[in-house]
Amino acid sequence: MILNNPTLTLVGFLVVIALLFFLIAKVKWHVFMALLIPIILFALIPGVNQGEFIKAFESGFGSTVKSIAVVIVLGSVIAEALKNTGGIEKITLKMIEWVGQKRMPLALTLTGFVLGIAVFSDVGYVILNPLVHSAALAAGVNMSVMSTGLVGAMQLTHAMVPPTPGPLAAAALLKADIGACIVFGSIATFVGSLAGWAYAMLVGPKIPSPPSQEFVGQSFAEKGLKLPSTLAAYAPIIVPLVLIAGQSIVNLYMAPSLFRTYVNFIGWPPVALLIGIWLACRNTNAEQKKVQNSAWIETALRSSAMIIMVTGLGGSLSAILKGTPAVDFIAQAVVNTGVPSIFLPFVLGIVGNMITGSTTVGVITAASIVAPMLSTLGLSPEAAMLASGSGSVIVKYVNSSYFWVCTSLSRMELKSALISYAGVTLVGGVFSMAAVYVMWIVHLI
């Protein structure tokens, strides 16, 4: 045991979490330092076995990072390729063609649902913003109607469907099956995305938010640049997801065989995502080929580093908590209230997001805290991961960089953006959690 005193453990744990949120929200420290220092300070509590503390810190960090580091980088490379080859715009334009020009807000919502799996939400919105303004002008509707469903859907799949870094990190912390998280996370976020679209259609027409002419002509398509084919644009996202989910399904329903061995290999996330990178890089033109092997990968490495390190610290925190009485005390207290235990990670995700403004921090914090408690709470790793993700999108408001990216680019006033974007993340998170709860009740997860 790292610490045997239940009272000191619980107080120390609460101080760690409070200090983490304070350093991020008030002092504006980077999340890595804001998480590292409170964890280290825990070792100074009287009675802590510092030798065991160091072992737990190192083993928790190492075991978590080794399972996700390569996968997060590979997923980021796919996102870079989609961004730079016009794949994001092609996916959007094709979705509009499938759903219909008259249902443009629904088409953009479904586009957000797809893109959030592969691309950071703020990057996706930056790229699609010119198309959203053009579509709103052409349809004669305001930006709240046209963009709200897109903003909500991108955030949902970004928070709940691997291999996006946040849910991937949470799955690693909880030791959840990534394929199962993809399948059931997609179901939950689809429900939440449709709820967000309905919210946009109900509330959006009442929100003052005119589109702007300044962005017209800035998209790939409007500049006359060549876009990849539909199949080439969708394949880097869909193929890896199918391979990873297929691995989980085959392992569940098929006896050991040579075929299952091959499926397990190509469905192993590093291999599946490498296939996705190959498919994405086939869309490059001669000019893009000059930078794809340097700039794209270097950008992906930079954007991945923070998430990898923060996730490793989350693993350290989980390992340290396992060596204390706080885990059983908190878990048993939740069980004794009679409230369904699946709402604990949901609430922790909400708290983490609303205080720090970061979906990734919210889902990682919730997963780190809940991971040692799963057996006492009676939760599967997949249920805990999806509940954490549902909470981590509630609510995007003024302390969120994503909120400000969407607000500034859509040219909305603050009040309009709060109703539109904070509102849709609340609705989407609640309905996604409702879907997770139903799947948990019927023992799908």
Residue 290 has pLDDT above 70, yes or no: no
Tens digit of each residue's pLDDT (9 = 90 or more) over 410-427: 999 999 999 999 999 999
User: 31, 302 in Cβ contact below 8 A?
Assistant: no
Tell the burial category of 286 from Cβ atoms under 10 Å away from its Cβ (0-12, 13-18, 19+).
exposed
Mean pLDDT of 68-85: 87
- Tokens standing for residue 224: 């006359």
- Distance between CA 121 and CA 129 in Å, rounded? 12
Least confident of 103-107, 284-288, 306-310, 377-381: 284-288
Mean pLDDT of 427-434: 97
Mean pLDDT of the chain: 88
Mean pLDDT of 370-383: 92
Amino acid at 185: G
What pLDDT is stored for residue 219 in this prediction? Answer: 67
- Distance between CA 138 and CA 151 in Å, rounded? 20
pTM: 0.86
- Distance between CA 65 and CA 48 in Å, rounded? 25
Residue 292 has pLDDT above 70, yes or no: no
What pLDDT is stored for residue 367 in this prediction? Answer: 92
How far apart, in Å, do the first and last CA atoms of the chain sit?
31
Tens digit of each residue's pLDDT (9 = 90 or more) over 77-129: 888 888 888 888 889 889 988 998 889 999 999 999 999 998 888 888 988 88
Residue 203 has pLDDT above 80, yes or no: yes
Q: What ranges make up the beta strands (E) of 15-170?
A: none
Confidence of residue 215 (pLDDT cuts 50, 70, 90): confident
Name the one residue in this structure whose structure tokens are 């998430």.
307
What pLDDT is stored for residue 342 in this prediction? Answer: 94
What pLDDT is stored for residue 66 in this prediction? Answer: 85
What pLDDT is stored for residue 221 in this prediction? Answer: 65
Confidence of residue 220 (pLDDT cuts 50, 70, 90): low
Tens digit of each residue's pLDDT (9 = 90 or more) over 37-64: 999 998 988 888 999 999 999 998 998 8
- Tokens standing for residue 143: 């930006």
